[in-house]
Structure 1
Amino acid sequence: MGFIDAFKRWRLARRGLSSGRKRRVHAENPVALTLDRSPWVRFCLYLFFVVWVGVMVLRVAHHTYFAENPMMGGLFGLVVAVTGVAILQMNYEAASLRNGRLVLILAGLAGHMAMVRAISVIVDHLVGDPTGADSQMKFLLIPFALTPMVHAVLLGRGIGIFSTMYAALLGSLVLPERDATLYMAVSLVCGLVAVQAVHRVRKRVQLLRGGVYAGLAALLLCVAFGRIDLMPEMNDKFEGLKQAGLSSLAALGVGIVIALLVSGMLPVLEGAFHLTTDISWLELSDLNHKLLRRLQLEAPGTFHHSLVVASLSEAAAEAVGANAAMCRVSAYFHDIGKLSKPEYFIENQVEGVENPHDTLTPTMSALIIIAHVKDGVDLAVKHKLNPRVIDVIQEHHGDSLVSYFHRRAQEQKKAELEKVEKGLENPEDLPKIDEKNFRYPGPRPRTRESGIVSLADAVESASRSLRKPTPAKIRSMVEDLVDGRVCDGQLSDCVLTLRDLATVKDSFCATLRSMLHTRIDYPKDDERSTIGRKSSSDLERRHGGGTKTQPLKTAPIQPAATPVVTPRQSPAN
């Protein structure tokens, strides 16, 4: 099919009916998409995870609480794993329906479990005495918050909390009996501290702060439960204090190492699992991007429009709990398709220059306006923008109607009908108006962020037509536009609720009121000089001045209870 399409384009190009090039399109690999959504793949992932946990606990049972009954340990592992899978499937639908994200979650928990056991075995092998003072250090070398922090940054706080609970449960099943309960307590606290510290992380320094907080939590709990003795009762006090100091440094150091590991792993994990953190969104919001630089130079009106849409959508996303950083970046790029023909869009037209649409039919004008969506996707794919940004570019108009040119076509047809009634035109020459030719190709917005950017785009464009904007006019305009989009079905595929829409309206109104506020008219220089001369003349008249200018003398300011002496009564005059 690709060869046939290329041959057809070549033939049209030879006849001068085509440019010979094909727009790039944004589409996911169908094989990858099928694997990512397949329930059979999901079932295999769950089965592998449950079997892995059961076998892992069974194999190390002779070193753990289940030394006397290894089969009981394996059963415990199976039960814990099955409950984890059930909770994940029932309560975290957004993550469980994507097999790629399931791999990240389940592999993270399985890897965390193996890491805890490996650290215990390696330290015991190097030290030789499992009950010695040096062996106690192995507990402090466990990276309690590693997996919860990774999951919280990449998949959100909910998954981070789930990961914290099951990392604590699974890890306690593979540790010696004397360490199991303490590990569970420390792991839970450190994981929750780390997850809360990196919630909505936007700077890498916040990761380091989260690691330090997790290390401090581990240190305090180990001191509270007696694992670290800050006041040793040993014969050699110096050796005891040295041991306590090394243990404290180990707890803090592991927290810092965890933060550095997560910071280094994030770019790899984001690329492998097609995820984008707020840190990456902020990096993408750099206005020095090649496309945005072109937009500033070639389509300055569109660039300014995009900045305002970014402010509107970011504030609204913050209000409803959507991804505000994604909304800002997507709004910057949502109209890059206008770079192909910037002069055909009103925000880039210069006053006094002929409007190119005046020489075109309404159908052709609508075709050019609609084409900016496909041109935007083509540019975005060429410059390898984030796939979620490309989705917003493709969806921000949905399949809405280009109402201005559709109405203009109807008016022209009405005028032609009048000529037909007068016998001046042939009825067969009347143009046919098909509404499909005046609608964007879609799809409609499918995410909350895409829906918010779509509404912000429409609201910003309409706000430019307001004359002497007032809060009431702004509110009426926002209500009409949002309700019109809802009635047209443009928001049917995204998950914005009626409560979300009410919050979005309030946010739009508040932002527009701050942007469209009025200012005082200051007089010009010649007006100020005229006012100054009039004021001088008034003063001279009041002070009895004629053609000669006399210095003005005023009486001193007196208290309110004292009668004020006017200049005419003053002895100085």
Structure 2
Amino acid sequence: MINFIKKVIKKPVKKIFEWTEKTSAAAGYKLTPKIFKKDIYIPIEIIAVFIYISLLMTLSFDLDLPLSGVFGLIIFLAIIMFFSVIYIKRTHKEFISDDEGVMLTGFVIIFIVFLSGALKIYGIPVWTVPTSVASILITLLISPVVAGVASLIVSIFLGILFDFSISIFLFSFIGNLVSIYFSARVKNRHDIVKIGYYVILINIIFVGAFSFIEDWESDIILPSVLWSAANGIFSAMLASAFLPYLEKFFSKTTSIRLLELSDFNQPLLKRLKFEAPGSFHHALMVASLAETAAEDIDANPLLCRVGAYYHDIGKIAAPEYFIENQSAVLSKHEDLKSQMSSFIVISHVKEGVRLAREYGLDKIVIDVIQQHHGTSLVHYFYMKAIESGMNDTEKSVYRYPGPRPKTKESAIVMLADSVEAASRTLEEPSYTHLQEMVYKIINNKFIDDQLTEVELTLADLDKIAKKFISVLAGIFHSRVEYPEENKEENK
């Protein structure tokens, strides 16, 4: 969304800058539009204040409080927002730097509270307010931790909005907790409907329990139960309706979307399978290595698997120039200069990014494609150039353009890619040889500064190496040689 806003305002603001430069040239003053050269950063505190003011205005509009009551409400809500921000900063640091994630969370909270106020004005019972929408969407799009904090804020505001009712607060908060629990286990879009069933069940139980605790009149119990059941239906419907648009607008990729991308019937994966079968098989092996390693270092195993499936899709453009797709005895590179061969090999990253955008892949997957070689050296062709007497060869010509991996998932795919390719060159893939090869490759990537921009400790790298060795040992395990049947004995 930030990028969309920048695109809208870029042209007119740039013209203002250009006009300013021309009119102030005589004074030796120069102004350049550097704002468009880097991302806009909006501190979470500013977003929190905006949410706070928006929600406070909603409550002030709906509640008829004296001046002292308004002052007390301001202090109470300020404390809630303050500690919510502190908690998220301490437990979910990556969320703080995610501008679009913070804006998405604020948007969902404000929408639900505004909707609650509107329903109250029109006399709709509170049991109908679909607060679970917030917990479902934020869990799927961001994380259960942030969803828990957002659910607490929404539930507190809902309780205040409906006559400071503790029962309304509990009704909303418990329903949200149930939604978070089941949303974290969603595997496909149909599962969102199942969340609605669980919300219906917990709402009915809660309303039934409170009808006995507060001794409700019999004529309001059944309508309240029905309204609470409708709450679950509306929550599932709204979450299912909003999710695809929020994914696109706020550039978020859910586990549902990743699972959809992992389907081998996806157009790009089908092309890779039929046009570059060797690369497709390599991608499957890399995915197995990456997914297994990710589980041990708190990375996203699903993203590693999907990123690995697509990391070499750029090879579709010229599959015959990559050894895993070559069936001929002579390589296509035999008649090419080392620099040209290096250029063709390096170009598969750029082609992969182009194809990914053309086919509408998510940014998080495109990042893996773009970063899976970092700025590594195309070592084979570089050494070949040196051997042919090109002493003035510069390494930069034989390096991938980057960027280096910026996430754990991209780094894992990079390491898995190199390890899987190198394992194919071992004449005797014994456990010891595999172990030496894996540690050597990871160490070389570390020394080459390919892992400087990602938060991976030496302990993480050791865990990754051990997982790689375990998987490769299973792939290259030795088999028992079966004795041939003696035909003469059977006569």
Name the TM-score class by shorter chain.
0.7 to 0.9
Matched, 1:446 2:406: yes
- Are the structure 2 counterparts of residues 43 and 67 from structure 1 closer, same or farther at C-alpha, using a change threshold of 3 Å? closer
Does residue 209 (structure 1) correspond to residue 198 (structure 2)? The answer is: no
Partner Cα separation in structure 1 for residue 367 and residue 69 of structure 2 = 55
The counterpart of 2:488, out of the listed 530, 533, 545, is: 533
Task: Give 1:85 deviation, angstroms.
Answer: 4.1
Amino acid at match of 1:506: K
Once the two structures are overlaid, the 10-residue window that deviates more, 267-276 or 250-259, is 250-259
**CA distance in structure 2 between the partners assigned to 1:174 and 1:449 by the alignment:** 43
Distance (Å, rounded) in 2 between the aligned partners of 1:56 and 1:88: 24
Q: Does 1:255 align with 2:240?
A: no
Which structure has the greater CA radius of gyration? 1
Q: Are 1:171 and 2:151 counterparts?
A: no
Deviation at 1:286, TM superposition (A): 2.2
Instruction: Give 1:477 shift.
Output: 1.9
Match in the other structure for 1:421: none
Query: Deviation of residue 264 (structure 1)?
Result: 1.7
1:50 aligned to which of 52, 57, 76: 52
1:122 aligns with 2:122: yes
Which amino acid in structure 2 is aligned with residue 61 of structure 1?
L
Alignment CA distance shift 1:469-1:379 (3 Å): same
Specify the alignment match of 2:64 in structure 1: 62
Q: 2:371 aligns with which of 395, 400, 407?
A: 395
Alignment of 1:361-510 (within 5 A): 361-413=337-389, 431-510=391-470
Answer whether contact 1:53 1:81 (CA < 8 A) is retained.
no
The code of the aligned residue for 1:148 comes to S
CA distance in 1 between partners of 2:75 and 2:378 (Å): 63
Amino acid at match of 1:533: E
Q: Note if contact 1:397-1:440 (Cα within 8 Å) is conserved in structure 2.
A: yes
Instruction: Say whether residues 1:515 and 2:475 are aligned partners.
Output: yes
Is the alpha carbon distance of 1:210 and 1:501 closer, same or farther for their aligned partners in structure 2, counting shifts above 3 Å? farther
- AA partner of residue 315 (structure 2): K
- Alpha-carbon offset, residue 250 of structure 1: 2.9
Aligned counterparts of 2:368 and 2:427: Cα–Cα separation in 1: 30
Deviations 1:515-543 (A, max 9, x none): 222333345xxx53xx131466xxxxxxx
CA distance in structure 1 between the aligned counterparts of 2:190 and 2:266, rounded to whole angstroms: 24
Residue 405 and residue 387 in structure 1: after superposition, are their counterparts in 2 closer, same or farther (change >3 A)?
A: same
Higher deviation after alignment, 292-301 or 217-226? 217-226
| Deviation for aligned residue 1:60 | 2.9
Question: In structure 2, what is the Cα distance between the partners aligned to 1:148 and 1:87?
Answer: 17
The secondary structure found in structure 2 opposite 1:532 is coil
- Structure 1 segment 13-412 matched on structure 2, within 5 A: 31=36, 34-35=39-40, 37-39=41-43, 44-62=46-64, 69-89=69-89, 91-123=91-123, 138-177=125-164, 180-226=165-211, 240=218, 244-351=221-328, 353-412=329-388
Q: Is the 8 A contact 1:57 1:74 kept in 2?
A: no
Measure the CA separation in 1 of the matches of 2:148 and 2:459.
Answer: 27
Q: Please report the TM-score for the alignment, with normalisation by the length of structure 2.
A: 0.85
- The Cα offsets for residues 490-525 of structure 1, whole Å up to 9 and x where unpaired, read as 1111122333222222222222223222333345xx
Alpha-carbon spacing, 1:228–1:208, altered in 2? closer, same or farther (3 Å): farther
Quick one: distance in 2 between partners of 1:412 and 1:492? 33
Partner AA of 2:346 in structure 1: I
Letter matched to residue 152 of structure 2 = M
For residues 467-501 of structure 1, the C-alpha deviation after alignment (integer angstroms, 9 at most, x for no partner) is: 34233332222222112211221111112233322
TM-superposition CA deviations, 1:148-202 (whole Å, max 9, x none) = 221111101111111122112222221114xx21122222222222111111422
Number of residue pairs the alignment of both structures matches? 458
Q: Mind listing any 5+ residue stretches in structure 1 that lack a counterpart? A: 1-28, 125-137, 235-239, 414-429, 537-573
How far apart are the structure 1 equivalents of 2:82 and 2:289? 45
In 2: Cα distance, 1:348 partner to 1:165 partner: 55
Amino acid at match of 1:50: Y
Q: TM-score, normalised by structure 1?
A: 0.73
| Percent pairwise identity | 33
Instruction: State whether residues 296 and 303 of structure 1, in contact with CA within 8 Å, keep that contact through their aligned partners in structure 2.
Output: yes
Secondary structure of the residue aligned to 1:357 is: helix
Query: 2:197 & 2:182 partners in 1: Cα distance?
Result: 10
Q: Which moved more, 1:272-281 or 1:71-80?
A: 71-80
Q: Which amino acid aligns with 2:128?
A: L
- Partner amino acid, structure 2, of 1:121: I
Distance 1:227 1:210 in 2: 26
8 Å contact from structure 1 (residues 313, 331) kept in 2? yes
List per-residue Cα deviations over 1:265-311 (Å, max 9, x = no partner): 11010011000101111111222233322222222111111111122
> For the structure 1 residues 223 and 290, does the alpha-carbon distance in structure 2 shift closer, same or farther, using more than 3 Å as the test?
closer
Separation in 2, partners of 1:30, 1:287: 41
Q: Which amino acid letter does the alignment assign opposite residue 51 of structure 2?
A: F
Counterpart CA distance in 1 for 2:213 and 2:467 is: 52
Instruction: Pick which of 473-482 and 88-97 moved more.
Output: 88-97
SS in 1 for 2:228: helix
CA contact (8 A) 1:311 1:328 kept: yes
* TM-superposed deviation, 1:67: 9.3
- The residue type equivalent to 2:337 in the other structure is T
Instruction: Assess if the C-alpha contact under 8 Å between 1:149 and 1:262 holds in 2.
Output: yes
